[in-house]
Structures are given as structure tokens and as C-alpha cells.
Amino acid sequence: MKILDTNLWVFGMLGTNSRAEHLLDEIERGETVSAINAYMLQEALEAFDRTPGLTPEERDEVKTLFLTRLTRMTGLIEAFESRCRRFAA
Amino acid sequence: MGVVGYCSFERALSHRLLLLCYDSITVKYANVSVKFPEELNQELERFLDETGVYTNKSEFIKEAVRRHLVELNNEPALSALRIERLLARAEQHSVSDDELLDRLEDLRDQVDQAALADAVESAREATADEFAEQS
């Protein structure tokens, strides 16, 4: 299993880092297994909220697209809800 | 000492008034009607009469709402709730995989890549601060 740093999640979504993009593609196809905890999810969402060059509406859109993509990643394990509950506890 | 204190208070107040003037020139306003308990309203009006810190009731309410929002946004339990709702919405999102990736590609072109790393670092600090406050 590969645990990705927040940088990789953000750059894989919005950056021009081909390694990060490649890793996300692999997780998407289930060729690599990964997990993301709610803390890192929060970090990534905070980063999208601060992304230079995008309007507030576009930042919201990026967050939705990011989360949508995560929910479809075959290689990403654990139920998000349970992670969020632990995050809130 | 008292005079110095008074002067700095005056300076802070005039600075605040300048900011309010600037605010009223540049910001678009929405009219919001709120029902207040009479006693709370009287208490607020008494405070404004006695202190004169706020130019009017509207300024006081605006700032109170802003502070409350900041406070709530810093609450980890609410962050978790927000993430959970965003995820639930994301699961219902009807966009196809190709459309999703195309749209990300478009948005990627608009992003200032050089500053993206700074955004992540700043996000790390904000998240760490939030959790440090919680523990």
C-alpha cells in the first residue's frame, strides 16, 4: 500500500507533476492500493481553497471534482464516513 | 500613561472608522432581516449608546456574524461534518469520468503552478494549527 503525501494528491489533481498524476491514475485503476485519512483530506481541501489563479467558485468545483474522483478510485480503501467520524471524535 | 492609552484607543478607533468607510465604498451589501428578542435588542442598544464603539447596530451585527463564522469554521467537528457532506454530494455527482478529467485539465491550465506548493504548505500550517488548538 502507498500512502501519498498531501502534496501528491494536490499536484496529481491540479499540478503538472507527472509522477503524482501517474500515481493517482494507478490508484484510480486499482493497480496501486492507497488510503487517505481525514486529516490529509482536510489539508488537501485547504490547499484547494488557497489555490492561486482560481475563482472561489472554481475552487469549490475543484474540491467537488477531487472528492468525486476519490469516491471512484478503485484502489482507495476504507469507508470515508468512518474516517470522518474518527476525525470528529 | 492614561493619555497615551487614550490616544492609542483614539487612533485605533479612527483607523477602524477609516476601514469601515473603505468597506462601505467597496463592498456590496445584502439586506437581511433578523428577529431579535426585545431584551437582547435593548441590551445591544444600551451597549452601543454607552460605548459608541460601533457606528450603528448593523456594524455590530455584521462583525458578530463574521467572528462567529470564523469560530465555527475553526471547529474540527464542523470540518469533519463539512467533509462528510461534500463526500456524500460527490458520490451523487453525475459527471462522467472523462468529463471530470477534462474539467480538471481546464482548471489546471489556470492554476499558478509556481504558487501551488505554497498553497499546500500554507494549508498544512492551517490544518496543524486547527488540530493543535483542539488537543
pLDDT for A15: 78
Q: What is the DSSP letter of B46?
A: H
| Lookup: cell for B3 | 493619555
Asked if residue A1 belongs to a domain, the reply is: no
Q: Pick from B120, B125, B134 the residue to mutate for testing the A interface (most A CBs within 10 Å).
A: B120
What is the count of structural domains for chain A? 1
B66/A22 Cα distance (integer angstroms): 42
pTM, 2 dp = 0.64
pLDDT for A44: 93
Window from A52-56, A67-71, B13-17, B27-31 with minimum mean pLDDT = B13-17
- Contact state of B123 with A44 under an 8 Å Cβ cutoff: yes
Q: Is A30 left (phi over 0), alpha (psi -120 to 50) or beta?
A: left
Q: Is the pLDDT of residue B65 over 90?
A: yes
Q: Is the pLDDT of residue B107 over 50?
A: yes
- Contact state of A53 with B104 under an 8 Å Cβ cutoff: no
pLDDT for B20: 57
- Contact state of B123 with A49 under an 8 Å Cβ cutoff: yes
Q: Is the pLDDT of residue A34 over 50?
A: yes
pLDDT for B24: 58
Whether A56 contacts chain B with CB within 8 A: no
pLDDT for A89: 42
Asked if residue A33 belongs to a domain, the reply is: yes
- Contact state of A88 with B77 under an 8 Å Cβ cutoff: yes
Domain segments of chain B as ranges: 1-30, 74-134
B102/chain A closest Cα distance in angstroms:
11
pLDDT for B2: 47
- Find the residue in B nearest to A59 (Cα): B107
Window from A5-14, B41-50, B53-62, B76-85 with minimum mean pLDDT = B76-85
Average pLDDT over residues A24-39: 91
Q: Is the pLDDT of residue B68 over 90?
A: yes
pLDDT for A87: 47
Q: Which comes out higher in pLDDT, residue A39 or A13? A: A13
Q: Is the pLDDT of residue B85 over 80?
A: yes
Whether A6 contacts chain B with CB within 8 A: yes
Contacts of A39 in chain B (CB under 8 A): 127, 131
A89/chain B closest Cα distance in angstroms:
7
Window from A76-80, B47-51, B98-102 with minimum mean pLDDT = A76-80
Q: Which domain holds residue A80?
A: 6-88
The number of CA neighbours under 13 Å toward the Cβ of B111 is 28
- Contact state of A47 with B119 under an 8 Å Cβ cutoff: yes
pLDDT tens by residue, B6-40: 555 566 666 665 565 565 567 788 998 989 899 99
Residue B6 CA: distances (Å) to CA of B1, B2, B47, B48: 9, 6, 19, 19
Regarding an ipTM greater than 0.95, the answer is: no
Whether A69 contacts chain B with CB within 8 A: yes
Contacts of B119 in chain A (CB under 8 A): 10, 47, 50-52
Q: Is the pLDDT of residue A79 over 50?
A: no
Q: Which comes out higher in pLDDT, residue B26 or B87? A: B87
B5/A40 Cα distance (integer angstroms): 46
B115/B29 Cα distance (integer angstroms): 32
pLDDT for B23: 58
